Structures are given as C-alpha cells and as structure tokens.
C-alpha cells in the first residue's frame, strides 16, 4: 500500500465510465494516457482538463502546469497478504495519479477506504490485518539512493487517518505532491508538531518593494483563525483561500538576499518555516514596460507605459495609483524614498501616458538616489482582491 488515486467528475475518486470497469475479480486497474496536449477525443480531453485543474488548484506554484502524460492506478477492494476466511471482506480502496509535462511531475494520492494496515508478514492479524507494522507510504526514485517517506503516516498507526486528512482540492483523503527535483507537499498536515516544520510556498522570491502574492501550504487552515506571515522583520496578515491554502502579500522589506519566512496560525508560535529571497529593484523582473525609447530622453514630450492589468486584479473597473520612487544605498540598509504621485485615481486598463511637463513645477530634487522606478498598485485592494496590501 505505497500509494493510491481513484478519477469522478464530481468526487475525489477519478472514474471514467468508458475506460475503467470494475468486477468482483479485478482489484487493480492501470491506465496510461499519452500525448494529452494534442488529444481531441472526449476521454483524452477529460483526463487532461481534470488532472490539470486539480493540480493547478491544489499545489502552490503549479498555476501554469499542463499535463502531457498521465498514469492512473487504482486499487479497489484490495485485501492483505496472508489473510484467511473473513479477511477477504477487510479491504482497502486507494488510487494514485502521476502527471508530468516532462519538466515537472506531480502525484495525487486518493485514499477512499482503509480497513487494514499491515499484512501477516509484517505481523498483522490473519483476520483483521491489524497489529503489525503498518504499510510504508511515500516515494522511491528506483535508483537505490533517493526515497521519501510521508510522515507521520508511513508505518505508523495514524496511517488510518489518511482517509480524513490531506484536503487536496477540498477532498478529505486527497494528498498532493510535486515529485521531480525535490519532493514538495501540496496538502496540509495537522498531525505533526515540532519546532521547525517545512512550508510549501510559491513564488519563493519577490521584489523588496513588496506586492508579491505568496501562496502558502503547510498547516491545515481555519477561516476563523488568524494567519500571520513573518517576512524577515515584518509581519502581515494572511488571507484564507481554503483549508489547504492562504495568501500573504509580501510587504516592503529593508533587506536583500535570503531572509526568514515563517507563519503562525492563531496564537501558536512561528513554527512553520522556509527561506524567501528578496530581490533589489535592479534585479527584479520588470512588470512595467515602456512603449518607446522616450524614457531615456532628457526632456521627452510624453512617456507611454504598459503593464499586465491581471497582475493586479481581474476586475477591469478597479482603480489604481501610479507613483514614483527612488532607491539609494548609503548605509548598511537599502533605502526606498517616495518621490511623488504620478496618477492618484486611474482605471486599471494596462496603459498610461505620462506627460513630464505636468510635473515640472513640483519640488522633487534628489541628488543621491541611484535610480528611480514606477510603482502601480490598487488604491483599494480589499474591495477588488480581498487583500490588506495591494499586489
């Protein structure tokens, strides 16, 4: 019982009527679907879309994943080795889905029914399948050097709780993982408690100016309990998305490079931890683009800027603010200085034309700034995105 997942359009278990048929004599069904990107048949499209959206919505950092190949293995009403008599009625039902785009690979474990935990060779009872060493749950790379044990469930009596934990895509019993270069858990875990627990979050880096929306998975979240995110020395409140995910918007940070990133739930201490990389404005990815080279002229008549409005919100009527900032390094801490507001109330259309002559009489003289940059943010983020801080 190393892994498991079942495929219905409305339930946790993946079941496709035309392709998977069960009988009382068949306990294991395996299905391999290849080249899903070019499939146009109904079944191929169903497998691709269902797997794609389950992984995108279930695992942080998988928002662009499109599966190319999918393997589905289902174990239905499987009894244990060495059982006698009524042990045939003591069964487990579980399933495993593996999906890859040939770069990233994800696994989904669906546990529907667990009535036994160990076979007779592991010391289990011949009738109930209990009392011995429970089954191993995890992954093996097949090369004899790399493996991953899914704690605290593997080979422990709490293995029975797999059917009621995970909460991947909102389903109890669904556990998600990214399993390529490193194993990343995509499901919440409420059965472990320690001083240092690993977080899964994406993206893992952001501009020191702030505004990066960080998706987080780790503990099982409760909408009634406050989640606090700690970036280096700054705290911000998280926004509940579902039991498996919260969002925190990175604040302005007076730091660069790797910093501590921790979260706490309710009144607990910061015990879920990771490392977050803070980029300087000079190294950060540009998200505001200049249409022409006018920005490099000494006295241009106009400067047109463009941005992706969906980086802020999907609401086309949202109001935004454009402001000018400067950056300097004269102490051991980098410094940002607000210079002026370019536009206080503008509809988020994705483009704007700046007329420099409109600001010629404003007293914004600074001679020690290394460079300047534009910032675009929502004027009222709570109204359009439900966040305390604007992306």
Closest to 281 (Cα-Cα) out of 247, 311, 253, 306: 253
Same domain, 208 and 163: no
Same domain, 275 and 292: no
Q: Look at residue 25 in the predicted model and tell me its pLDDT.
A: 39
Same domain, 175 and 98: yes
Using CA atoms, how far apart are residues 98 and 28, in angstroms rounded to an integer? 16
**Cα–Cα separations (whole angstroms), residue 40 to 43, 55, 188:** 8, 21, 35
Same domain, 98 and 129: yes
- Choosing from 152, 184, 216, the residue where a domain stops is 184
- Choosing from 158, 184, 210, the residue where a domain stops is 184
Q: Look at residue 92 in the predicted model and tell me its pLDDT.
A: 93
Would residue 12 count as lying in a domain?
Answer: no
Same domain, 73 and 106: yes
Same domain, 255 and 230: yes
Would residue 48 count as lying in a domain?
Answer: yes
Same domain, 223 and 242: yes
Same domain, 275 and 338: no
Same domain, 42 and 173: yes
Q: Note the pTM of the prediction, 2 decimals.
A: 0.74
| Residue 294 three-state SS | helix
Q: Look at residue 22 in the predicted model and tell me its pLDDT.
A: 34
Same domain, 292 and 258: no
Would residue 1 count as lying in a domain?
Answer: no
Using CA atoms, how far apart are residues 323 and 327, in angstroms rounded to an integer? 13
Domain with 371 in it:
288-382
Q: Can you list the residues of the chain whose pLDDT is less than 70? A: 1-29, 143-145, 191, 194-195, 383-391
CATH no. for residue 257? 2.60.40.10
DSSP conformation letters of 148-191: EE-TTTTTSGGGGGGGGSEEETTEETEEEEEESSSEEE-SB--S
Would residue 377 count as lying in a domain?
Answer: yes
Would residue 156 count as lying in a domain?
Answer: yes
pLDDT tens for 48-65 read 999 999 999 999 889 899
Using CA atoms, how far apart are residues 361 and 351, in angstroms rounded to an integer? 25
The dihedral built from the CA positions of residue 212, 218, 224 and 229, taken in this order, carries a sign that is: negative
Same domain, 215 and 337: no
Would residue 192 count as lying in a domain?
Answer: no
Radius of gyration of the chain (CA): 26
Would residue 49 count as lying in a domain?
Answer: yes
Q: Is 350 left (phi over 0), alpha (psi -120 to 50) or beta?
A: left
**Cα–Cα separations (whole angstroms), residue 343 to 163, 324, 352, 376, 379:** 53, 10, 9, 9, 11
Would residue 134 count as lying in a domain?
Answer: yes
Enumerate residues 6+ apart whose C-beta is below 8 A from 25.
none
Task: Report the domain count for the chain.
Answer: 3
Enumerate residues 6+ apart whose C-beta is below 8 A from 38.
none
Q: Look at residue 97 in the predicted model and tell me its pLDDT.
A: 95
Same domain, 312 and 202: no
Q: Scanning the structure block, which residue is given the tokens 């106009």?
A: 302
- Choosing from 184, 213, 236, the residue where a domain stops is 184
């Amino acid at each position: 019982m190393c892994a498991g997942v079942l495929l219905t359009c409305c339930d946790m278990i993946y079941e496709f009527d035309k392709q998977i048929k069960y009988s009382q004599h068949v306990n294991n069904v395996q299905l391999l679907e290849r080249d899903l990107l070019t499939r146009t048949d109904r079944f191929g499209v169903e497998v691709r879309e269902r797997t794609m959206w389950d992984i995108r919505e279930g695992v942080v950092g998988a928002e662009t994943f499109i599966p190319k190949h999918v393997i589905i293995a289902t174990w239905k009403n499987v009894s244990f080795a060495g059982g006698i008599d009524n042990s045939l009625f003591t069964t487990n039902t579980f399933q495993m889905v593996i999906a890859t785009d040939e770069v990233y690979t994800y696994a989904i474990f669906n546990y529907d029914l667990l009535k036994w935990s160990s076979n007779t060779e592991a010391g289990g009872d011949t009738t109930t399948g209990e009392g011995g060493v429970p089954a191993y749950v995890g992954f093996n790379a097949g090369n004899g050097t790399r493996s991953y044990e899914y704690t605290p469930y593997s080979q422990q009596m709490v293995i029975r709780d797999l059917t009621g934990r995970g909460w991947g895509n909102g389903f109890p019993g669904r556990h998600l993982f990214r399993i390529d270069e490193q194993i990343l858990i995509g499901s919440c875990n409420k059965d472990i408690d320690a001083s240092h627990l690993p977080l899964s979050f994406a993206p893992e880096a952001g501009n020191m100016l702030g505004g990066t929306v960080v998706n987080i998975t780790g503990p099982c979240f409760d909408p009634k309990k406050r989640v606090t995110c700690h970036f280096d020395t700054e705290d911000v409140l998280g926004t509940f998305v579902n039991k498996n995910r919260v969002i925190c918007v990175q604040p302005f940070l007076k730091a660069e490079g790797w910093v501590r990133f921790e979260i706490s739930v309710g009144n607990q201490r910061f015990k879920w931890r990771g490392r977050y990389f803070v980029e300087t404005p000079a190294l950060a990815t540009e998200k505001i683009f200049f249409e022409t080279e006018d920005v490099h002229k000494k006295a241009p008549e106009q400067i047109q800027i463009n941005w992706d409005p969906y980086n802020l919100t999907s609401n086309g009527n949202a109001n935004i603010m454009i402001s000018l900032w400067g950056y300097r390094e004269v102490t051991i801490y980098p410094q940002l200085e607000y210079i002026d507001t370019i536009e206080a109330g503008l509809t988020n259309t994705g483009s704007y034309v700046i007329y420099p002559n409109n600001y010629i009489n404003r007293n914004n003289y600074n001679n020690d700034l290394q460079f300047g940059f534009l910032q675009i943010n929502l004027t009222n983020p709570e109204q359009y995105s439900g966040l305390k801080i604007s992306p």
